[in-house]
Structure 1
Amino acid sequence: MIRRIGTPDGVNARSSPSPRAIVANGLVFTSGQVPLRSVPEDESRNFADDVRLALENLAATLEESGSSLKHALKITTFLTDPRLAEYNEIYADVFGENLPARTTVMVSESDYSIEIHCIAAVAHGQKPPLIRRIANAPGMAPVLGPYSQAVVANGMVFTSGQIPARTSMQDQPEDFAGKVRQTLANLEAILLEAGSDLAHVAKVTTYLTDPEQLVEYNGVYAEAFESTLPARTSCCVGIWDIALEIECIAFVADGPPQGPFTHEPKFVSVTQEAVQAC
């Protein structure tokens, strides 16, 4: 059964043919939430105001859908304003300890400084869904922002965008093919920690910064997945100084580990001079 959530009065009444969210199979899929109120305002807002309003609209959409921010599994953020550090500060305050997986990229043109898309679990009344969050998988470079590397719920794994970092942001392969292999190796490591693997990946989204590298990317990608090719979308965006970023949705393999993850998050503060897509 598919339930479509419309736009109630007073919340994000953007003129659009899309519903605010779709609810199906215990999951909520939101449309992109933007910093727009139902009643136009004369006063100008700054970037921080836009971030807060977009997150408020997201929270309202999730509540209307039978979910909430603490049940968010995966966030995708599209920015036209490069102030990632400021976004991270507000975002971390809003989500607290319930950090979803997340991917953040820059887009060149938009009517808004920020747009946020979310996949969340439905909160089943007195029986909340089991959500397991991987903060920082063993052997992985420390995360540089307020996000989980992966979130497991409803038999599915939602990963954050993975980049070609080995031990740190500064430690990356020099050639593009090496960067692709390292990014896919990072993705595989997180999937294994989550009780899945590359063979159980259902959907991949690839963000490239140079469209001329797509052919080379396809060659390395095909070697990694072989006959278990998932559905895929590839696009060209801005990811600060990173060559590519790969995120995925996968199914949990048979016999996944049970209980919450115990790995403590190892967050590193992000500055404007040393910023990465999260």
Structure 2
Amino acid sequence: MIRRIGTLDGVNALPSPSPQAVVANGLVFTSGQVPLRTGPDEEYRNFADDVRLVLANLSATLEASGSSLNHALKITTFLTDPRLAEYNEIYADVFGDNLPARTTVMVSESKYSIEIHCIAAVVDGQKPPLIRRIANAPGMAPVLGPYSQAVVANGMVFTSGQIPARTSMQDQPEDFAGQVRQTLTNLEAILHEAGSDLAHVAKVTTYLTDPEQLAEYNGVYAEVFGSTLPARTSCCVGIWDIALEIECIALVVDGPPEDPISQEPKIGSDIREAVQTC
């Protein structure tokens, strides 16, 4: 059963044939929320006001859909204003300890400073959703902002965007192919901590900063996933001092997932060594 959420009182939306949100299988999928103001009393003031307005719109949309910010599983943020630190401060204050997985990228072609869309769990008063948040998987570089590395709910894993960091943002492979492998190693480690693995990934979204590197990316990606290819979207955006970012949605494995270290990996000895030494 699919339920579509249309126009909401107090939420200004862009003219579009899309609903504000769609509810299906215990999940809410929102359309992108922007800081759209109408009327003389709602003129633009500053970036912080934009962020608060977008998060208020997102909250109202989730409430109308039977969910809430506390039950958000995955947030995707598109910024045209590079003030990430200011965004993170407001964002952390709004979400508190209930931090969703998150991916944040820069885009250039938008009249708005920020746009946010999310996936959230529907709240059932009789049976509240079980949500597990993974703050920092063992062996991973520390997270760089107010987000969970992955969130598990409804039998699915929602990851934050992964980058080619080994022990820190400054510790990355020098060549692009190595960066792709390291990013996929990081993704695999988080999936394993969440009770899944690469073979159970349903959807991948890849953000590249150089479109000329797509062919090389595809070669490494195909080697890693082999015959278990997920659905995928790839696009070119701006990311802070990194070549790529990868996020995914995966199914939780019934029973213990394969150990990416002890099992014969698809991803080659170089990634196996990276996992062992992280």
TM-score, structure 1 normalization: 0.90
Unaligned runs of 5+ in 1: 258-278
Query: Any idea what SS the aligned residue of 1:144 has?
Result: coil
Partner of 1:89: 89
Question: Aligned runs of 1:264-275 on 2, under 5 Å?
Answer: none
Letter in 2 for 1:74: K
Partner of 2:14: 14
Distance 1:40 1:126, change over 3 A: farther
The answer to whether 1:221 aligns with 2:221 is yes
Query: Any idea what SS the aligned residue of 1:218 has?
Result: helix
Mapped partners of 1:83, 1:207: distance in 2? 19
Equivalent pair of 1:10/1:39 in contact (CA under 8 Å): no
The answer to whether 1:116 aligns with 2:116 is yes
Count residues in correspondence: 257
Q: Percent identity?
A: 89
Letter in 2 for 1:111: K
Question: Aligned runs of 1:82-231 on 2, under 5 Å?
Answer: 82-231=82-231
Cα displacement string for residues 149-169 of structure 1 (whole angstroms, at most 9, x for unaligned residues): 000000000000000000000
Letter in 2 for 1:247: E
Query: Any idea what SS the aligned residue of 1:35 has?
Result: coil
Mapped partners of 1:255, 1:240: distance in 2? 37
Mapped partners of 1:147, 1:175: distance in 2? 28
Equivalent pair of 1:13/1:38 in contact (CA under 8 Å): no
| CA deviation after TM superposition for structure 1 residue 22, in Å | 0.2
| CA deviation after TM superposition for structure 1 residue 7, in Å | 1.3
| CA deviation after TM superposition for structure 1 residue 126, in Å | 3.5
Equivalent pair of 1:194/1:256 in contact (CA under 8 Å): no
Mapped partners of 2:15, 2:256: distance in 1? 43
CA RMSD of aligned residues (A): 1.2
Q: Which has the higher contact order (CA 8 A, sep 6+)?
A: 1
Distance 1:6 1:164, change over 3 A: same
Equivalent pair of 1:10/1:38 in contact (CA under 8 Å): no
Partner of 2:54: 54
Letter in 2 for 1:150: A
